[in-house]
């Protein structure tokens, strides 16, 4: 008998939901986190009484009623609706592209006028789009591409849109209504009191060690648990034996300002090429804050190197092939479960990562799975 049923590596949402459900079933969990706090990327830091989204703006949205009920059982959610604004050289446009955007851009007022303009601008691209620029113009026309897509995308990827493959942008949602709500989901909001309220509830009852890298103490922690739930990067788990998976990273620069309202909205996208950052987040607006000061964060896209936070997987063919080699090794593990965005090398929204942890817990017990694997091997 080992001391813990689960040694959980990492403390993001995947780990948290796993721990919460395991606890409810009377299982004992040890959580190991290499950062000095729990919560993974949804963690908020309290600055001037404002909940600062330390690892990037997080807005909860879902159409899944079960997931919505679950998160609401952990925290009350406010009525925040994500309505970001784009700043193109001082011109302000509503997002996502909708009648407010078109009216500002072309001085028009009806959906038909907007459709006609976009259709005529799209027609400059004939045949299969050869790169991202052609793909974007074929979807939304020249003006929207030039002012709202080009600079932002080039900053995100660190490359000219003509050098980027068309498949990166499969669709650019265009709405012919005066509706600035960014998400189409049925439910959205921000937990009142910030995401840490949820984190605290998820890990209640677990033993926790922060500031510890599992990979540097693997033998010790493997000996403590029956089963390891690993939510770190899969390539690092296997010592990068087939090579390193690529990511895009971000650099955040935060500032406390001695004013109560800097930009009037939580998210402003800077869509010109010259401004080096892509977004400015003013955190208090997520919770309708009335504090005398404000905190803003400028978000700079960056190439990922070891030691930086791996934010977005680069799911191109080369990296997917590499990932599947690691996934094959993972499949053979008898007492390790790999889950979450890093271990599965997959971009997950929060609701999807919750679902994935649920589904993992619903799988047959890992001991039963190990037994079946051993039997299959013998066959």
Please report whether residue 280 would count as binding ligand FAD according to CB under 6 A.
Answer: no
Please report whether residue 297 would count as binding ligand FAD according to CB under 6 A.
Answer: no
Closest distance to ligand FAD from the beta carbon of 17 (Å): 8
Is the Cβ of residue 293 or residue 352 nearer to ligand FAD in the bound state? Answer: 352
Q: Which of 33, 35, 154, 175 is catalytic?
A: 175
Please report whether residue 15 would count as binding ligand FAD according to CB under 6 A.
Answer: yes
Reply yes or no on whether 361 is catalytic.
no
Per CB under 6 A, which region of 166-174, 279-287, 329-337, 344-352 contacts ligand FAD? 344-352
- Footprint of ligand FAD on 102-141 (CB under 6 A): none
Would you call 224 exposed, middle or buried from its count of C-beta atoms within 10 A (0-12, 13-18, 19+)? middle
Per CB under 6 A, which region of 11-19, 121-129, 201-209, 315-323 contacts ligand FAD? 11-19
**Given candidates 189, 232, 289, 360, which one binds ligand FAD under the rule CB under 6 A?**
232
Token representation of residue 173: 């949602």
8 Å CB contact between 49 and 263: no
Reply yes or no on whether 218 is catalytic.
no
CB atoms within 10 A of CB 125: 18
What angle (nearest 5°) sits at the alpha carbon of residue 86, between those of residues 80 and 91? 130
8 Å CB contact between 148 and 115: no
Is the Cβ of residue 108 or residue 212 nearer to ligand FAD in the bound state? Answer: 212
**Contact string (CB under 6 A) for ligand FAD, positions 54-83, x = contact:** --xxxxx-----------------------
Give bridge partners of residue 85 from the DSSP assignment. 94, 268
**Contact string (CB under 6 A) for ligand FAD, positions 210-229, x = contact:** ---xxx--------------
Could you give the CA distance from residue 99 to residue 110 in angstroms, rounded to a whole number? 8
Q: Distance of CA 351 to CAs 71, 105, 203, Å?
A: 9, 34, 18
First vs last C-alpha separation in the chain: 29
- Give the count of residues interacting with ligand FAD (CB under 6 A): 33
Reply yes or no on whether 159 is catalytic.
no
Please report whether residue 21 would count as binding ligand FAD according to CB under 6 A.
Answer: no
Could you give the CA distance from residue 318 to residue 308 in angstroms, rounded to a whole number? 21
**Given candidates 18, 19, 41, 150, which one binds ligand FAD under the rule CB under 6 A?**
41
Is the Cβ of residue 81 or residue 124 nearer to ligand FAD in the bound state? Answer: 81
8 Å CB contact between 292 and 111: no
8 Å CB contact between 218 and 313: no
Would you call 119 exposed, middle or buried from its count of C-beta atoms within 10 A (0-12, 13-18, 19+)? exposed
3-state class percentages of the chain: helix first, strand second, coil last, to nearest 5: 35, 20, 40
Please report whether residue 231 would count as binding ligand FAD according to CB under 6 A.
Answer: yes
Question: Can you give the binding site for ligand FAD, defined by CB under 6 A?
Answer: 9-15, 32-35, 40-42, 56-60, 213-215, 231-232, 250, 311, 340-342, 348-350, 353
Which residues form the catalytic set? 171, 175, 248, 279, 299, 347, 349
């Amino acid at each position: 008998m080992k001391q813990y049923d689960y040694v959980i590596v990492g403390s993001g949402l995947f780990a948290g939901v796993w721990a919460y459900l395991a606890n409810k079933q009377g299982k004992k969990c040890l959580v190991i986190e290499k950062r000095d706090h729990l919560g993974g990327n949804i963690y908020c830091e309290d600055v001037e009484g404002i909940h600062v989204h330390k690892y990037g703006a997080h807005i909860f949205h879902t159409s899944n009623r079960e997931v919505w009920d679950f998160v609401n059982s952990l925290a009350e959610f406010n009525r925040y609706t994500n309505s970001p604004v784009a700043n193109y050289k001082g011109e302000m446009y509503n997002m996502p592209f909708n009648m407010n955007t078109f009216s500002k851009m072309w001085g028009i007022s009806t959906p038909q006028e907007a459709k006609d303009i976009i259709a005529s601008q799209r027609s400059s691209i004939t045949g299969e789009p050869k790169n991202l620029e052609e793909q974007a113009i074929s979807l939304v026309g020249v003006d929207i591409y030039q002012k709202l897509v080009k600079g932002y995308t080039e900053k995100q990827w660190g490359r000219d849109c003509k050098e980027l493959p068309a498949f990166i942008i499969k669709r650019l949602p265009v709405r012919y209504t005066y509706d600035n709500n960014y998400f189409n989901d049925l439910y959205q909001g921000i937990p009142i009191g910030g995401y840490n309220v949820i984190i605290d509830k998820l890990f209640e009852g677990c033993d926790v060690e922060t500031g510890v890298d599992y990979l540097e103490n693997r033998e010790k922690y493997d000996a403590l648990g029956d089963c390891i739930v690993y939510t770190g990067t899969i390539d690092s788990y296997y010592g990068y034996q087939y090579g390193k998976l690529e990511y895009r990273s971000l650099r955040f620069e935060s500032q406390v300002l001695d004013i109560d309202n800097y930009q009037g909205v939580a998210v402003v996208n800077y869509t010109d090429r010259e401004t080096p950052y892509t977004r400015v987040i003013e955190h208090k607006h997520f919770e309708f804050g009335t504090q005398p000061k404000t905190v803003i964060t400028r978000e700079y896209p960056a190439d990922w190197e070891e030691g930086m936070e791996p934010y977005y997987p680069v799911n191109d063919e080369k990296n997917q092939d590499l990932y599947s080699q690691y996934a094959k090794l993972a499949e053979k593990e008898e007492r390790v479960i790999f889950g979450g965005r890093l271990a599965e090398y997959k971009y997950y929204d929060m609701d999807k990562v919750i679902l994935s942890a649920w589904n993992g817990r619903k799988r047959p017990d890992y001991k039963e799975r190990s037994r079946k694997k051993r039997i299959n091997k013998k066959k």
